Amino acid sequence: MADDQKPKTKLLDELEKGPWPSFVKEIKQAGEKSPVCDDLLGQLELSYEEKKGHWKHGGIVGVLGYGGGVIGRYSDLPDKFPNVAHFHTMRVNQPAGWFYTSDAIRTLCDIWERHGSGLTNMHGSTGDIIFLGTKTSELEPAFKELTEAGFDLGGSGSAMRTPSCCVGPARCEWSCYDTLKTCDDLTRQYQDEMHRPPFPYKFKIKCSGCPNDCVASIARADLSIIGTWKDDIRQDDAAVAQYARAGLDIRKDVCDRCPTRCMEWDGQKLAINNRECVHCMHCINVMPKALRPGQERGATLLIGSKAPIVQGALLSSVLVPFVPENELMDTLKELIRRIWEFWDEYGNNRERVGELIQRVGMANFLDAIGLDPAPEMVAAPRDNPYIFFQKEEAAAEPEPAGA
Amino acid sequence: MADDQKPKTKLLDELEKGPWPSFVKEIKQAGEKSPVCDDLLGQLELSYEEKKGHWKHGGIVGVLGYGGGVIGRYSDLPDKFPNVAHFHTMRVNQPAGWFYTSDAIRTLCDIWERHGSGLTNMHGSTGDIIFLGTKTSELEPAFKELTEAGFDLGGSGSAMRTPSCCVGPARCEWSCYDTLKTCDDLTRQYQDEMHRPPFPYKFKIKCSGCPNDCVASIARADLSIIGTWKDDIRQDDAAVAQYARAGLDIRKDVCDRCPTRCMEWDGQKLAINNRECVHCMHCINVMPKALRPGQERGATLLIGSKAPIVQGALLSSVLVPFVPENELMDTLKELIRRIWEFWDEYGNNRERVGELIQRVGMANFLDAIGLDPAPEMVAAPRDNPYIFFQKEEAAAEPEPAGA
Amino acid sequence: MSAQAAKRITDIGPPHYDKFLHPVIKKNYGKWVYHETLAPGVLCHVAESGDRIYTVRAGSPRLLSVQTLRRFADLADKYCGGHLRFTSRNNVEFLLDNKEKIEALKKELNELGFPVGGTNNAISNIVHTQGWVHCHSSATDASGIVKAVMDVLYDRFTHEDLPAKLRVALACCLNMCGAVHCSDIAILGIHRRPPKIQHDVLSKVCELPTLISSCPTGAIRTKTVDGKQSVEVVEEQCMYCGNCYTVCPAMPMNDPENDGISIWVGGKVSNARSAPKFSKLAIPYLPNNPPRWPEVVRAVVNIVDVYAKNAKKFERLGEWIDRIGWPRFFELTGIPFTRYHIDDFKHAGLSYARSAHIRF
Amino acid sequence: MSAQAAKRITDIGPPHYDKFLHPVIKKNYGKWVYHETLAPGVLCHVAESGDRIYTVRAGSPRLLSVQTLRRFADLADKYCGGHLRFTSRNNVEFLLDNKEKIEALKKELNELGFPVGGTNNAISNIVHTQGWVHCHSSATDASGIVKAVMDVLYDRFTHEDLPAKLRVALACCLNMCGAVHCSDIAILGIHRRPPKIQHDVLSKVCELPTLISSCPTGAIRTKTVDGKQSVEVVEEQCMYCGNCYTVCPAMPMNDPENDGISIWVGGKVSNARSAPKFSKLAIPYLPNNPPRWPEVVRAVVNIVDVYAKNAKKFERLGEWIDRIGWPRFFELTGIPFTRYHIDDFKHAGLSYARSAHIRF
Ligand code: SRM
Ligand code: SRM
Ligand code: SRM
Ligand code: SRM
Ligand code: SF4
Ligand code: SF4
Ligand code: SF4
Ligand code: SF4
Ligand code: SF4
Ligand code: SF4
Ligand code: SF4
Ligand code: SF4
């Protein structure tokens, strides 16, 4: 395509200015090799002019034998922008922790230049490598090259999504379990559930190595795996003193910001009442050289977070307070099996597992998946007296131990 | 009645033992003059044996021209306990602050001995003097004597209830408005609404002089009036120092327990950041000689608390953050008028005003009663994106000041 | 009787409080500066003028005979120039202007069987309701349990040795006339079986639409029984609140085998330090065991004792639990955590633990 | 092509991460002791062995051409033995074992237009979504607003001068693919008019029961239009969530006049100090004003600046507001508080101010 044929993008050109890297530049750059990008720019400029999108609603496309991993997308102005008449994206499983070699990056680039727009998202919100925009006929060839290079598609529709994880033990001193291994194992374990949508709706898993939750698992995953420890915070008194000497106001900046105020600093010695510590990470974050998570490590499993549609956004809530690291994979597999079984049977169409739990009640959900109720699961016990006593129990209640 | 005719009360007799004053003794004592009490004891003993009550469901009785103030009560074993076949209670407006002279007490006693069981509750949960148990024919004579003695009935059914108030300025140094006067004025003002049930359901008002809320208004009143102040806490540094000398750990027991941590104690001087004070009363409670509420006094008005039936218990929530003391009565009257008007029109049968607000939404309620939304009314703004934009506003929104 | 008295008087409201105020109070009304506690149950309020008013507070069973009331009046005459009041928790307060008379008054009160106390960090009187003495709704008695519990907590009333105020309240059914829903410890009468419908009279004594809409969970449906219009209750949807019975006598809830008591903890009303809070479920069910409800008494005393031993100064029960966490509360009290503790009503989801903040 | 390559490969998952780890990381995997920040965007992690790995983080527009990716690969080869990664907020990280090379790498990145920063108390990259670039649902664009905002917040990315971390996120519709609901500042595309129903095709392309049940407020009812089965929307019950459109293409929501942006504040994800929280409504509506959305940029910058000026060290935006209270937040930012700020969805009652805790 000759230069003078390039679309006029008066509005978008504005977004090439300014210090932050420009996505318009990226599209134009890719456009140097791919005519697709010119039509994308043209349509986008029109959207900017008209203040509305120009994509048609969905459309089911995919690769052979897979029900997910491709998002079908069609322009609503195919005559005007024929090169984006089809403009599907491919979701590709990212390597755990988003680690790459330059070669791997180049391989991906080559494939996508051959079979798509040359535009990517590194990465999508769920964590996948996003290959942004291609036509239906290129899906299968792109897929073939991807798998040959050792890559595979992620999920879409009512399927498992590619799990994601924080950098964890690869580069973080606080990781309480192996997030990369867990994420990778889970991704491999559930390839089938990812590629052949078997569920009432989507299912996401995210793995954070500690309660800082650097992959936002508690807000964005149906199953959130957050590393934690059970024993005492490891404390290096000399290093604490050094922070104090260096000017850190330990009382104000550490003790007073501890959510349970379980720390005391008398100017000399830091005393932590570890029984009352809620493992929030704050003190460790502030004094990484002096404090470290304990050594009895593992993870808390939480269930059910999601975005607002339909009944309001949810945060994940505690399902298993602590699983030791060495039992983590087995526990996860067993638990996931039971959760899916229950969700399969009782979940409504487009009902996330968190919504299902809200609907049937946590206690019934626990029953169904064979877990005992534990006070760690609730912020507080119920405050309304509307208790559904189980039939068999009324009239034959033993006196509780504490009474 | 001869002594050997007294009912056998094997179980209840157990409750005459022990150090706490015994209600069984009280009933027996009244029984010395009133045969009614013997039947009450007899029926109660039966309840203790059978573990169930023996009163029939309600029944509408009252005094001439009043629709409220009497709770009809009938035994379900009238043949066995004929003296409590009728056993209605009369609710009598207590004097504000529950202050009495011995003469007033004696007057009440004489009336109730003549016309009822001789048993009372001093006081009922709402605050009334409760005359416990009489028959229908005695209601009117009792009422006559009461009004002649300057007393009147309280409310019941879908009516205003007798307001109540804390001891306030009569004996408490913290009262930020005149709780007794307010309570008394309101009680007088709404005699008609109290005696001739005009509402969808009951309406309760309680007045506390400060945020300690000694009449539990925030939990038990449709309209809660809680005293507070707007200017700085009055502080007597010498007295603060004296508390410190006397052994009070001001940092730990005062500053660290301040909910917004807006106080600093450096061992010499207590500094309060009054802009961040939420008027919780804690520091004042702990050091009454050193700290006192400010002098710009008034009240916060809160709306809607109630017990759990039907949609769960409610606490009152802020409706007017601050009304200066001198505007209090006028503001209250105007506001109450508007609230009742709206509730009258839109309230369902047996729907408390707090429930109505939940149902129609706070913003619509504010519109209806002519108040502007204020951030003090919410613990936090909404967290869900389900905003009902008003028609006229969409398509013509001015840019907000802060944008 | 005079001619005026013969006229029917209505809508006069209560006597004006002004008539009943102690002269020292009248003089110093709104002019109090501070107060001190002289002993448990004995307060001294000091006015700007330097005047002092002394208060002696005595525990009361609330259900009072006129005989006892007259005795209070006599004491008021003897010690207080005839002035007394009652508190919002149904204690009686004697108001003195002479400090010297306090001890004698206390002595007489004690001799009459009325303990002096209930101030500051004592356990004050149990706010309560009618129970089998006067209400048709009760799932349990009120006064009897209060007596049994206070007998055992007696020393906690006469001593101020708790970490903070501790308010106990009792309501005999879910209507919660005792407004127990914001108490440090709440004793609540509960049913555990659906109403037993009296089909033969139902349509005669109740309005069907009102009845059906009274149910918070929508468990009531119309049904024709023996040719008569009546209703049925979907058992799985009934949580025994009794609201249907309140609007319709043909839906009685009483069931001696299944009625009983639940215990709730950690509520508060004051704004001191933390915001007011609802009480939360501690023990879902304890049997009705008159006359002394030993299971209930043990349960309450256990919670009080564990709290007294573990909480820090100024921590209300709910504030203590907020600090140590609910798991530790259940551990320390030995109360089992069950499926019933997990909310499943309207806002249930918000009560789940939505953070990784966990104590081990 | 080899015989093996001809076989169709499926369900293999991603390459094993092990293949991509830097040798220093592989050696010290799980053995890190602490880290230090050498400069904004430059971290040093120290292992038990004494080994160090250096990280240089650069901002990325996320939407990357293969050309740029190859340039990253070249830099990784030149400075990192070929090793790089991306972060959970879509920044790119170069991993070095040689401290000496850091400055040169930074220089090259800057020359290429990729700022180094985003660590600690900087504003990191804006997590965002597709917008008009690729989604049918969007009420606004994504990349354009991100670019406009980050151009102005640029120095906040390259400097760590905020009281704490500040996370901005953007989602172009209520589906919230950016999961903005727990962000310090969330930019959310919204509609403000009900769907415009395409009655002529509706019954052909949509399942009616699914459509009707998709509406959170039950605003959709069946209706026959021009003899065709279709639906109507009760306008008063529609809050423009667009869920009906997600399940049924015949319910488009796009409306250039009324679509726009809402701003939410005070959410967080980490468990550090306070529990994770949802973002709360700050500004209900700002217009779509491409290409630079000046109203949105001003609004975000204003909130950031007010926060930066007023919050204490370690206070996330929401924690700061918790301390000063929402009334003060609205006062300080000059944002008007409106009826829209008061929740009226499912749990609305719980968001009312249920205490007398008030700041004046
Ligand atoms: C590509 C991506 C946004 C991005 O720019 O990064 C994306 C894009 C879409 N999402 Fe999403 N979602 C993406 C991550 C998310 C996330 C974030 C996450 O996973 O951490 C969420 C919020 C978390 C959650 O799952 O609740 C999210 C919540 C939704 C929802 C609402 C789901 C719900 O239960 O509330 C929908 C609606 C639906 O599924 O019908 C949705 C639907 C969609 C669809 C398929 C549109 C639709 O209605 O069918 C979008 C396709 C856009 C396109 O044409 O490319 N997307 N979506 C993200 C996936 C990339 C990847 O695989 O890495
Ligand atoms: C006498 C008293 C209890 C006591 O022993 O002190 C009482 C007794 C009754 N209350 Fe109550 N309530 C009493 C204060 C309360 C309170 C506390 C308060 O006012 O501070 C509440 C909780 C606060 C509230 O209003 O929400 C209360 C909430 C109820 C309810 C539930 C109302 C609701 O909206 O949830 C009912 C049920 C009803 O109204 O149908 C109720 C109904 C009843 C009835 C009339 C029974 C009925 O279903 O018709 C009881 C009559 C008992 C009897 O035979 O004597 N009573 N009731 C209290 C009134 C005495 C007084 O006038 O001073
Ligand atoms: C007499 C009475 C008011 C009345 O008009 O009757 C009263 C009187 C006083 N209250 Fe109260 N309160 C009274 C019921 C209440 C209630 C209501 C209730 O219990 O139902 C509350 C709310 C309780 C709750 O939160 O559940 C209440 C919460 C307070 C507080 C806050 C305590 C806290 O830390 O949460 C104080 C401050 C203090 O004690 O430090 C307080 C302080 C006081 C002071 C010291 C005020 C003063 O300066 O005179 C009075 C004597 C205190 C005492 O009893 O130790 N008063 N006080 C009530 C006595 C009831 C009783 O017989 O025990
Ligand atoms: C690289 C990355 C993980 C990854 O696998 O990609 C990461 C890495 C680190 N995070 Fe993080 N966090 C990363 C996303 C997050 C997220 C998720 C998000 O932003 O969506 C969170 C939750 C944010 C929230 O609450 O909304 C997060 C909350 C934290 C916190 C808690 C901060 C707080 O006070 O709330 C810390 C501790 C600290 O900074 O003191 C932390 C600390 C760290 C440390 C210092 C951990 C360590 O010892 O290595 C790492 C470098 C810090 C830095 O960037 O300043 N990281 N961190 C992510 C970088 C994203 C980026 O490009 O900016
Ligand atoms: S979540 Fe914890 S372990 Fe993982 S990168 Fe963040 S701070 Fe490190
Ligand atoms: S990790 Fe958090 S809760 Fe535990 S001691 Fe440190 S600051 Fe306190
Ligand atoms: S509410 Fe306040 S003013 Fe009233 S008695 Fe209690 S402490 Fe005093
Ligand atoms: S009244 Fe409460 S909020 Fe105000 S300074 Fe005192 S302790 Fe703090
Ligand atoms: S709580 Fe229930 S049973 Fe007790 S008095 Fe009130 S309505 Fe009657
Ligand atoms: S007891 Fe309550 S839940 Fe059961 S049927 Fe009656 S109203 Fe419904
Ligand atoms: S947030 Fe909405 S518009 Fe944006 S990508 Fe997700 S589904 Fe599409
Ligand atoms: S936009 Fe949402 S609220 Fe409106 S009709 Fe559609 S689903 Fe219902």
**A247 interfacial to chain D (CB closer than 8 Å):** no
Instruction: Please determine, for residue B398, whether its predicted confidence score (pLDDT) is greater than 50.
Output: no
Per residue in B211-243, pLDDT (tens digit) is 999 999 999 999 999 999 999 999 999 999 999
CA distances from B285 to A365, B219, B258, B293, C36 (A): 46, 21, 11, 10, 11
Q: What is the mean pLDDT of residues B198-209?
A: 97
Helix (H) or strand (E) holding A346: helix A328-346
pLDDT at C178: 80
Q: Which residue has the tokens 């052979």?
A: A64
Query: Taking an 8 Å Cβ-Cβ cutoff, which residues of chain A contact chain B?
Result: 256, 261, 308, 312-313, 383-386
Q: How confident is the model at residue A397 (pLDDT cuts 50, 70, 90)?
A: very low
**Residues 6+ away with beta carbon under 8 Å from D207:** D247, D248
Note whether B398 contacts D: Cβ–Cβ < 8 A.
no
What are the residue ranges of helices labelled H in D198-325? 199-205, 208-213, 243-247, 294-310, 317-324
List of chain D residues with pLDDT < 50 = 1-5
Q: C313 is written with which tokens?
A: 């100064």
Residue C283's nearest CA partner among A267, A389, D342, A142 is A389
Mutation to probe ligand 6, out of A263, A273, A286, A300 (largest number of atoms < 8 A from CB): A263
> pLDDT-based confidence at C219, cuts 50/70/90?
very high
Contacts of range B128-132, beta carbons closer than 8 Å, 24 or more positions apart: B128/B91, B128/B92, B128/B93, B128/B94, B128/B154, B128/B161, B128/B162, B129/B91, B129/B92, B129/B93, B129/B94, B130/B89, B130/B90, B130/B91, B130/B92, B131/B89, B131/B90, B131/B91, B131/B92, B132/B89, B132/C63, B132/C133, B132/C134
Bridge-based pairing of strands C185-190 and C168-171 is parallel
Say yes or no to pLDDT of B131 above 90: yes
Residue B395 has pLDDT above 70, yes or no: no
Whether the per-residue pLDDT at C2 is higher than 90: the answer is no
Of A213, A378, A384, the CB nearest to C353: A378
CB within 8 Å: C341 and A318: no
Mean per-residue pLDDT over chain B, rounded: 95
3-state SS, chain C, equals: CCHHHHCCCCCCCCCCHHHHCCHHHHHHCCCEEEEEEEECCEEEEEECCCCEEEEEEECCCCEEEHHHHHHHHHHHHHHHCCEEEECCCCCEEEEECCHHHHHHHHHHHHHHCCCECCCCCCECCCECCCHHHCCCCCCCCCHHHHHHHHHHHHHHHHCCCCCCCECEEEECCCCCCCCHHHCCEEEEEECCCCCCCCHHHHHHHCCHHHHHHCCCCCCEEEEEECCEEEEEECHHHCCCCCHHHHHCCCCCCCCCCCCEEEEEECCECCCCCCCCECCEEEEEEEECCCCCCHHHHHHHHHHHHHHHHHCCCCCCHHHHHHHHCHHHHHHHHCCCCCHHHCCCCCCHHHHECCCCCCCC
Q: Provide the pLDDT for residue C3.
A: 47
- Cβ A313 vs Cβ B384: under 8 Å: yes
User: Please, are residues B403 and D298 in contact by the beta-carbon 8 Å criterion?
Assistant: yes
φ and ψ at residue B12, rounded to 5 degrees: -65, -35
Q: Whose CA is nearest to atom 2 of ligand 10?
A: C241
| SS3 track for D42-84 | EEEEEECCCCEEEEEEECCCCEEEHHHHHHHHHHHHHHHCCEE
Q: Is the pLDDT of residue C91 over 60?
A: yes
- In 3D space, the residue among B356, B76, A342 whose CA is nearest the CA of residue C198 turns out to be B76
C132: tokens are: 């089998």
CB contact under 8 A, D249 and A56: yes
The residue of A13, A16, A23 whose CB has the most chain D CBs within 10 angstroms, and thus the best one to mutate to test that interface, is A23
b/e A115-133 (16+ beta carbons within 10 angstroms → b): bbbbbbbbbbbbbbbbbbb
If you average pLDDT over residues B69-79, what whole number do you get? 96
D positions 120-139 inside 8 Å of B (CB): none
Q: How far is CA C39 from the centre of its chain?
A: 25
What is residue D258's predicted lDDT score, i.e. its pLDDT? 96
State the chains in contact with C (3 or more Cβ–Cβ pairs under 8 Å). Answer: A, B, D
Pocket test for ligand 5, best of A99, A171, A173, A175 (most atoms within 8 A of CB): A175
Q: Which residues of chain C does D355 touch, with a Cβ-Cβ cutoff of 8 Å?
A: 271, 275-276
* pTM, full prediction: 0.96
The whole-angstrom separation of Cα B199 and Cα D259 is 43
- The confidence score (pLDDT) of residue B394 equals 57
Question: Ligand 9 center to residue B207 CA distance, Å?
Answer: 24
Q: List pLDDT tens digits, range B261-319.
A: 999 999 999 999 999 999 999 999 999 999 999 999 999 999 999 999 988 999 999 99
Ligand number with the minimum distance to the CA of C181: 2
Q: List the beta strands (DSSP E) in D97-240.
A: 168-171, 185-190, 220-225, 228-233
Q: Which of D239, D352, D360 sits opposite B377 (nearest CB)?
A: D352
Interval between CA B64 and ligand 11 midpoint (Å): 68
- Whether omega for the bond prior to residue D216 falls within 30 degrees of 0, making it cis, is no
Decide: A343 and A353 in contact? Cβ < 8 Å. yes
The CA A173 to ligand 5 mean position distance, Å, reads 8
- Put simply, whether B16 touches C (Cβ < 8 Å) is no
Q: Is the peptide bond before D291 cis (omega within 30 degrees of 0)?
A: yes
Distance CA C332, CA B24 (A): 36
Nearest to D205 by CA among D260, D248, D246: D248
Both tokens of A11, joined, read 């509005």
Cβ of D17 within 8 Å of Cβ of A96? The answer is: yes
Structure tokens at D311: 């919050």
What is the dihedral sign for C-alpha D300, D302, D303, D308?
A: positive
Asked if residue A1 has pLDDT above 60, the reply is no
Query: For residue C221, what are the contacts with CB-CB under 8 A and spacing of at least 6?
Result: C212, C231, C232, C233, C234
- Ligand 6 center–CA A271 separation, angstroms: 11
Q: What is the mean pLDDT of residues B188-207?
A: 97
Separation CA B285–CA C120 (nearest Å): 10
Q: Is the pLDDT of residue A219 over 90?
A: yes
Q: Is the CB of C243 under 6 A from ligand 2?
A: no
Residue B180 touches partner C, C-beta closer than 8 Å: yes
Q: Is the pLDDT of residue B326 over 90?
A: yes
D311 vs A21, B272, D274, CA distance in Å?
29, 18, 15
Q: Whose CA is nearest to atom 6 of ligand 7?
A: B214
Q: What atom in ligand 2 is closest to the CA of residue B55?
A: 54
In this prediction, residue A391 carries a pLDDT of 77
Ligand 2 pocket mutation, candidates C128, C146, C167, C177, criterion most atoms within 8 A of CB: C177
State in Å: Cα C179 to ligand 2 middle: 9
H or E element at residue A60:
none
Q: Which chain B residues touch C85 with a CB distance below 8 Å?
A: 97-100, 167
Cβ-contact D94, A171 below 8 angstroms: no
Probe residue for ligand 8, chosen from B226, B243, B253, B263 as the CB with the greatest number of ligand atoms within 8 Å: B263
Instruction: Note whether B51 contacts C: Cβ–Cβ < 8 A.
Output: yes
DSSP state of D229: E
Read off the pLDDT of residues B51-62 as tens digits, 9 standing for 90 and up.
Answer: 999 999 988 899
Single out the residue of D80, D73, D74 nearest to residue D21, CA to CA.
D80
What pLDDT is attached to residue A392? 66
Mean pLDDT of chain A: 95
**What is the dihedral angle through the alpha carbons of B277, B281, B283, B289, rounded to the nearest 10 degrees?**
130
Q: Which atom of ligand 4 is nearest to the CA of A173?
A: 48
Nearest protein Cα to ligand 8, atom 5? B277
Residue of D nearest to B315 (CA): D354
Q: What is the pLDDT of residue C6?
A: 60
Q: Is the pLDDT of residue A2 over 50?
A: no
In this structure, which residue's CA is closest to atom 3 in ligand 11?
Answer: D138
**Helix or strand or coil: residue B359?**
helix
Q: Which residue of A has its CA nearest to C333?
A: A402
d(CA C352, CA C357): 12
Please work out whether the CB of residue B58 comes within 6 Å of at least one atom of ligand 2.
yes
The band of A394, judged by pLDDT with boundaries at 50, 70 and 90, is: low
Q: Are the beta carbons of B221 and B301 closer than 8 angstroms?
A: no
Other CB atoms within a 10 A radius of the CB of residue B286 amount to 18
Dihedral-angle region of residue B370 (phi above 0 means left; psi in -120 to 50 means alpha; beta otherwise): left
**Which residues 151-190 on chain C approach chain A with CB closer than 8 angstroms?**
174, 181, 188, 190
Task: At B137, give phi and psi (nearest 5°).
Answer: -65, -20
Confidence of residue B403 (pLDDT cuts 50, 70, 90): very low
pLDDT tens string C266-321: 999 999 999 999 999 999 999 999 999 999 999 999 999 999 999 999 999 999 99
Distance C196 CA to ligand 10 centre (A): 11
Query: pLDDT of C106-157, one tens digit each?
Result: 999 999 999 999 999 999 999 999 999 999 999 999 999 999 999 999 999 9
pLDDT at B4: 54
D positions 47-86 inside 8 Å of A (CB): 53, 55, 59-70, 72-74, 76-77, 82-86
The pLDDT value given to residue B2: 41
SS3 per-residue string spanning A141-206: HHHHHHHHCCCCECCCCCCECCCEECCHHHCCCCCCCCHHHHHHHHHHHCHHHHHCCCCCCCECEE
